[in-house]
Every structure is written in C-alpha cells, then in structure tokens.
Amino acid sequence: MMEDGRPRFWISWYDRWNLILPIALLAAGGWLAVQPRIRLPEVPAQRLRPLGPVTLESPASGARLRMDRMGEVEGKAEKGTTVVLFYSQAPSLERRELSRMQVGVDGRYRFRLAGFPPGGFVFQAVAYAPDGRSSGSPPVDVWVVDPRIPGRRSP
C-alpha cells in the first residue's frame, strides 16, 4: 500500500502542499456563510402619479393657416407644469423649440404664432413637471399658405 511513504494512488507530482489552497478556499467560504448579513433599512419607493394628458386643441390637425393671420396654438395641461411648444418643418422633421410658458391655475396655455414661411409644419406641446415627469400632446400637422400667391393651391 505504501510505496516511498506515499499511498499507491498518490500522483508523484501531487503532495500535501497542493491541498492547502482548496482547504483554505473551503474554510473561507464556510466562514462567509456563517457571518451575519447586513440589511439596509428599506425605504418605501415614492409612487408618482403620471402627469395628466396634454391637449393641443387649436389649430386642428390638417388646418390651413394663412401667413398673415396664423393665430394661436392653445390647449390644456396640468396646472403648475411648464409647457414647451415644439415645431418641425417638413421634409426635415427636425424638432425645434418654439416657446415655453408656465401653465396657470386654469390649466390652459396659449402661444401666438407668427413668422412661418409657407409649407407643412408639425406642432407638439410637451408639459414638464418640476419633479421631472413629462407628458406630450399628439402631434398636429398644419399647412401654412401665402395668400398673396393667387391660384396656387397647397397639397
């Protein structure tokens, strides 16, 4: 059974020093397993209600606006929010900020439109709450026409 002081199944290059690392790892794992777990106090998550809907009531989608009398963009949003009016001009559709305002206690906002060239435009109002919530209106597409060009019809 013993040959040169070692058991028969013992590999020649393997000796008892090679057992130190696995035994040390098992001991460290056992020690970690019996240690008390530190529990952090649970903080209840704040549930923020979603921001109310934002409407863009005027102009209606598909409306034709005259360059000289464009009118206003108006709608409703939650009071105390900041409404930002974005627009984009076809065909690029790169969204740009036109104006922003604070919504009053009545929950209404109104932006005056002026200085748009003839062509297709898309407007969208987005409301931002002070706590970071936001909500947007559906996009509204309008066509701006030049009344000085007779006989030219917009698409």
Q: 111-120, pLDDT tens digit by residue?
A: 888 888 888 8
Please check whether residue 7 lies inside any domain of the structure: yes
Specify whether 122 is located in the same domain as 59: yes
Q: What is the pLDDT of residues 19-72, one digit of tens each?
A: 777 788 889 988 888 888 888 787 676 677 777 888 888 888 888 887 777 788
What are the beta bridge partners of residue 24? none
Specify whether 26 is located in the same domain as 67: no
Specify whether 23 is located in the same domain as 97: no
According to DSSP, the β-strands at 140-145 and 64-66 are: parallel
Domain holding 11, by residue range, is 2-34
Please check whether residue 128 lies inside any domain of the structure: yes
Specify whether 64 is located in the same domain as 25: no
Q: Is the model's pTM score more than 0.75?
A: no
Q: Give yes or no for a contact between 73 and 58, defined as CB atoms under 8 angstroms apart.
A: yes
Please check whether residue 40 lies inside any domain of the structure: no
Please check whether residue 120 lies inside any domain of the structure: yes
Task: Report how many domains make up the chain.
Answer: 2
Specify whether 25 is located in the same domain as 60: no
What are the beta bridge partners of residue 18? none
> 26: part of which helix (H) or strand (E)?
helix 20-34
Kindly compute the dihedral angle of the four CA atoms of residues 18, 21, 27, 31, in this order, to the nearest 10 degrees. 170
pLDDT confidence tier of residue 134, bands split at 50, 70 and 90: confident
Per-residue pLDDT at 18 exceeds 80: no
How far apart, in whole angstroms, are the C-alpha atoms of residue 140 and residue 73?
10
Specify whether 30 is located in the same domain as 59: no
Specify whether 66 is located in the same domain as 13: no
Specify whether 59 is located in the same domain as 92: yes
> 142: part of which helix (H) or strand (E)?
strand 140-145
Please check whether residue 45 lies inside any domain of the structure: no
